[in-house]
């Protein structure tokens, strides 16, 4: 099924290096399907992400959000279709922080920089301490950090190779509102610097506020791609909806 | 892999409780074992009530044996508490002041001297099933040894009497000393008389008496040997089929070090791999960044955990051996072999630990699983042949073959005590086990990561 909308508007933060229609996308997913036995987890999903763009993948439980992200990340192979991105050009941040609690922030960054064979680990560590805003806490053990700061370390590790695209799987799911705010500030800064950020979330209002574009997945099918405002217009029919209401109405209209 | 090893070492050094345990454990175990085996086992505290009259003697033929010989021998086997009545003994046992009480009744000497009736000793004891078993075996052993001493003394006295009958000599009776001829000399005298007698019926009768005296003297001489055989009918001749005899204390050292090696290697390896899963870093390490090779292959991940756990366990176990050598004599000239046995044994245990760790999602679960599995395995490996039914022993043998404890124990025993069946066999067995469990762990990682 063809996507129903097209990206045109920007919701909150204007990317520093927003690409126009003609710019080459950083990440391009073409007609990706995934089948587990008889069950079709993804059906012909296509989308692209440009430099500095924040793309949110939303949908009900079992829609295929994590499957799509893991295929883009390369941790799963698609049954058919193609993901075009050069090797090492995508950073992957798992849902749970994958960091060592007994090591400090800097030690975690240095360890993964060395394991990933980053050219100059010391420089990469300093860069990520600056970007993540954790320089003052560089010597602190990760186990003593708040959930939000731990997630920042998690994201910083995904960015050690300075990839142009970053995939985040439900990054704010276990954070309190204050920690969530700090996390999105960090992600916003990354996008402003030109990193293309693709994230999945259950929180649709978060997608409205934090994403330039939303992808709506249901039962493995991509039902919509466009801005939050466009999605609202899709279902308004003269009735005023908030984004969450519009999202639910949209799914209902499409039989989900 | 070196960065991951350095990371694991750093985490270990920051886990103060675990680090403290790793330092204190070998010192404590070495001291405990050293003190335990450098001192003789304590004698059980046993009350002794001797109701027979003081100075009473056992009469055997022409000789007398003081009853105090028996009680002294008995007291030597226990830590005696001398009491004067049976009632006191009952109180002492009931209150737990003594483990048991031995009561020698008033007719003890009389019965022993009579030869026709057995003397009896009463044993009073108390406690739970374990204590009862200990008391019975301790007291029975002490009584058996005392009986043996008494039997030996009686045999000596009887042999002296037989010698007197055979060879003749001075004989004390009713306060006066008399000389007796002895069977050997009687036979010689009779033969001399026979030669002087004229042929006839009297000479023939005397000749038969002289022959009988000869026969009696020869057979009486044999009776001394018979007495020895009766007092100790079975003499043990033990032959060790392989290697040299291992003293019990040296074997105890090897068992203690093997158990420590096992727990440290299995627990550290299992906890190490489980920690990677608990911290969610396992997937990040063995999948790597999208589009790029894994940061660490599954094989290297297993190898890293085995090396780390084995290295820590070897350091601790070697320190234990060094510490224990202050108490008992170990051959430091074979230290290189100790090290080889420890390294290969630790590698096998660590591979088992990694395989266990891949099954658990948390460090606590991995530690519990390791402990629950390792303890009975060590116990089974120490069960001697004949202690259980042959079918069960066959099952135990199979289990001991699959798991590394028995092979490690044999290898270390060989390296430390020159025991059999040979270090090479045990090392080859352990290496096979290490490879087997590493492959299992590799498969489990593929399934779970």
Of A111, A157, A161, the CB nearest to B7: A111
Share of chain A above pLDDT 70, in %: 88
As a whole number of angstroms, the distance between CA B169 and CA B182 comes to 7
Of A74, A100, A141, the CB nearest to B290: A74
Of A102, A107, A161, the CB nearest to B289: A161
- Reply yes or no on whether the pLDDT at A11 is more than 70: no
| Mean pLDDT, rounded, for A1-22 | 36
So what's the pLDDT on residue B372?
A: 87
Contacts of B7 in chain A (CB under 8 A): 100, 103, 107, 111
* pLDDT tens-digit series, residues B96-130: 888 888 888 888 777 776 666 777 888 888 777 76
- Reply yes or no on whether the pLDDT at B208 is more than 50: yes
Q: Looking at residue A141, what DSSP letter applies?
A: B
Kind of pairing, strands B57-60 and B63-66?
antiparallel
Q: Which of B277, B166, B143 is nearest to B214 (CA)?
A: B166
Q: Are B90 and B142 in contact (CB under 8 A)?
A: no
Q: Are B263 and B343 in contact (CB under 8 A)?
A: no
CA-nearest residue to A74 within chain B is B290
State how far the alpha carbon of B31 is from the alpha carbons of B76, B262, B334, in Å.
29, 19, 22
So what's the pLDDT on residue A107?
A: 94
CA-nearest residue to A103 within chain B is B11
Residue A112 to residue B295, Cβ atoms within 8 A: yes
Q: Which of A92, A75, A94 is nearest to A159 (CA)?
A: A92
- Reply yes or no on whether the pLDDT at A240 is more than 90: no
So what's the pLDDT on residue A15?
A: 41
Residue A98 to residue B281, Cβ atoms within 8 A: yes
Tell whether A82 lies on the interface with B, counting CB pairs under 8 A.
no
Tell whether A52 lies on the interface with B, counting CB pairs under 8 A.
no
| Mean pLDDT, rounded, for A95-102 | 89
Question: Which of A240-254, B132-146, B176-190 bottoms out in mean pLDDT, i.e. has the lowest?
Answer: B132-146
> A239 vs chain B: nearest CA distance in angstroms?
44
Residue A98 to residue B283, Cβ atoms within 8 A: yes
Question: Which of A36-50, B165-179, B256-270 bottoms out in mean pLDDT, i.e. has the lowest?
Answer: B165-179
Residue A116 to residue B11, Cβ atoms within 8 A: no
> B330 vs chain A: nearest CA distance in angstroms?
40
Question: Tokens representing A80?
Answer: 């058919």
* pLDDT tens-digit series, residues A157-199: 988 888 888 898 888 887 788 778 888 888 888 888 888 999 9
Tell whether A94 lies on the interface with B, counting CB pairs under 8 A.
yes
So what's the pLDDT on residue A187?
A: 86
CA angle A15, A21, A27 (to 5 degrees): 70
| Mean pLDDT, rounded, for B441-445 | 87
Of A89, A92, A100, the CB nearest to B11: A100
Contacts of A28 in chain B (CB under 8 A): none
Tell whether B281 lies on the interface with A, counting CB pairs under 8 A.
yes
* pLDDT tens-digit series, residues B336-355: 999 999 999 999 999 999 99
Tell whether B5 lies on the interface with A, counting CB pairs under 8 A.
no
Residue A112 to residue B284, Cβ atoms within 8 A: yes
CA-nearest residue to A143 within chain B is B279
Residue A103 to residue B10, Cβ atoms within 8 A: yes
So what's the pLDDT on residue B144?
A: 80
In a mutagenesis test of the B interface, which of A28, A92, A93 is the best target, namely the one with the most B β-carbons within 10 Å? A92
Share of chain B above pLDDT 90, in %: 14
So what's the pLDDT on residue B169?
A: 82
- Write down the domain spans for chain B: 45-167, 181-231, 250-448
Residue with tokens 């009579």: B114
Mean pLDDT across chain A = 82
Tell whether B432 lies on the interface with A, counting CB pairs under 8 A.
no
So what's the pLDDT on residue A19?
A: 43
Confidence of residue B197 (pLDDT cuts 50, 70, 90): confident
CA angle A37, A42, A43 (to 5 degrees): 105
Question: Tokens representing B290?
Answer: 């999208």
CATH of domain B45-167: 3.40.1710.10
So what's the pLDDT on residue A21?
A: 45
- Reply yes or no on whether the pLDDT at A110 is more than 90: yes
So what's the pLDDT on residue B75?
A: 74
Residue A107 to residue B280, Cβ atoms within 8 A: no
- Reply yes or no on whether the pLDDT at B227 is more than 80: no
As a whole number of angstroms, the distance between CA A242 and CA B181 comes to 135
* pLDDT tens-digit series, residues B17-58: 877 877 777 677 766 766 665 555 567 788 888 887 766 676
Of A90, A97, A101, the CB nearest to B290: A90
Tell whether A171 lies on the interface with B, counting CB pairs under 8 A.
no
Contacts of B291 in chain A (CB under 8 A): 74, 85-90
Question: Which of A142-146, A186-190, B27-31, B244-248 bottoms out in mean pLDDT, i.e. has the lowest?
Answer: B244-248
Query: Domains along chain A?
Result: 1-87+194-256 (3.40.50.300)
So what's the pLDDT on residue B289?
A: 65
Q: Is the dihedral of CA A88, A91, A94, A99 positive or negative?
A: positive
In a mutagenesis test of the B interface, which of A86, A104, A111, A159 is the best target, namely the one with the most B β-carbons within 10 Å? A111
Confidence of residue A238 (pLDDT cuts 50, 70, 90): low
């Amino acid at each position: 099924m063809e996507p129903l909308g097209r990206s045109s508007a920007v919701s909150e933060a204007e990317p520093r290096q927003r690409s126009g229609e003609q710019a080459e996308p950083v990440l391009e997913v073409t007609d990706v399907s995934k089948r587990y036995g008889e069950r079709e987890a993804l059906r012909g999903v296509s989308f692209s992400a440009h430099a500095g763009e924040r793309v949110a993948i939303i949908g009900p439980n079992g829609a295929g959000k994590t499957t799509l992200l893991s295929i883009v990340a390369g941790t799963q192979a698609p049954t058919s279709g193609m993901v075009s991105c050069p090797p090492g050009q995508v950073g992957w941040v798992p849902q749970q922080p994958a960091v060592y609690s007994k090591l400090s922030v800097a030690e975690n960054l240095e360890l993964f920089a060395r394991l990933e064979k980053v050219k100059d680990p010391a420089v990469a560590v300093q860069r990520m301490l600056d970007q993540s805003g954790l320089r003052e806490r560089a010597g602190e053990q990760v186990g003593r950090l708040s959930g939000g700061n731990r997630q920042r370390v998690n994201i910083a590790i995904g960015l050690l190779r300075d990839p142009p695209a970053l995939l985040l799987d439900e990054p704010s799911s276990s954070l309190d509102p204050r920690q969530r705010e700090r996390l999105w500030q960090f992600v916003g800064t990354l996008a402003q610097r030109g990193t293309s950020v693709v994230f999945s979330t259950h929180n649709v209002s978060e997608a409205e506020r934090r994403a330039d574009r939303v992808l709506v997945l249901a039962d493995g099918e991509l039902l919509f791609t466009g801005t939050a405002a466009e999605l609202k217009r899709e279902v308004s029919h003269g009735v005023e909806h908030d984004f969450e209401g519009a999202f639910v109405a949209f799914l209902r209209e499409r039989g989900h | 892999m070196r960065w991951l090893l350095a990371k694991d070492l750093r985490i270990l050094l920051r886990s103060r409780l675990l680090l403290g345990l790793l330092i204190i454990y070998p010192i404590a175990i070495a001291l405990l074992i050293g003190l335990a085996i450098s001192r003789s086992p304590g004698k059980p505290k046993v009350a002794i009530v001797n109701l027979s009259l003081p100075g009473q003697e056992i009469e055997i033929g022409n000789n007398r044996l003081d009853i105090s010989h028996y009680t002294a021998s008995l007291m030597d086997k226990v830590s005696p508490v001398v009491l004067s009545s049976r009632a006191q003994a009952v109180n002492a046992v009931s209150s737990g002041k003594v483990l048991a009480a031995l009561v020698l009744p008033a007719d003890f000497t009389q019965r022993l001297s009579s030869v026709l009736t057995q003397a009896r000793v009463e044993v009073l004891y108390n406690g739970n099933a374990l204590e009862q078993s200990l008391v019975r075996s301790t007291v029975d052993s002490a009584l058996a040894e005392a009986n043996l001493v008494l039997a030996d003394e009686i045999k000596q006295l009887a042999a002296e009497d037989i010698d007197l009958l055979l060879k003749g000599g001075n004989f004390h009776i009713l306060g006066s000393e008399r000389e007796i001829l002895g069977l050997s000399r009687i036979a010689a005298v009779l033969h001399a008389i026979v030669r002087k007698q004229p042929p006839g019926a009297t000479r023939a009768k005397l000749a038969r008496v002289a022959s009988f005296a000869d026969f009696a003297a020869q057979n009486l001489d044999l009776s001394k040997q018979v007495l020895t055989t009766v007092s100790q009918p079975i003499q043990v001749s033990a032959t060790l089929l392989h290697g040299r005899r291992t003293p019990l204390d040296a074997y105890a050292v090897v068992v203690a070090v093997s158990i420590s090696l096992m727990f440290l290697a299995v627990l550290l390896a299992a906890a190490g791999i489980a920690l990677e899963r608990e911290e969610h870093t396992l997937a990040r390490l063995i999948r790597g960044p999208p589009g790029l090779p894994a940061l660490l292959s599954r094989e290297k991940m297993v190898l890293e955990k085995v090396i780390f756990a084995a290295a820590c366990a070897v350091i601790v176990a070697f320190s234990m051996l060094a510490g224990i050598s202050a108490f008992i004599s170990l051959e430091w000239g074979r230290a290189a072999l100790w090290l080889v046995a420890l390294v290969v044994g630790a590698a096998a245990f660590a591979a088992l630990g990694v395989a266990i760790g891949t099954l658990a999602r948390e460090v606590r679960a991995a530690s519990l699983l390791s402990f629950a599995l390792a303890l009975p395995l060590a116990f089974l490996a120490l069960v001697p042949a004949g202690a259980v039914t042959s079918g069960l022993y066959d099952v135990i043998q199979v289990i001991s073959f699959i798991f590394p404890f028995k092979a490690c124990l044999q290898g270390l025993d060989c390296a430390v005590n020159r025991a059999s069946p040979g270090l090479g066999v045990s090392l080859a067995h352990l290496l096979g086990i290490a490879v087997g469990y590493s492959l299992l762990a590799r498969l489990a990682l593929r399934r779970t990561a």
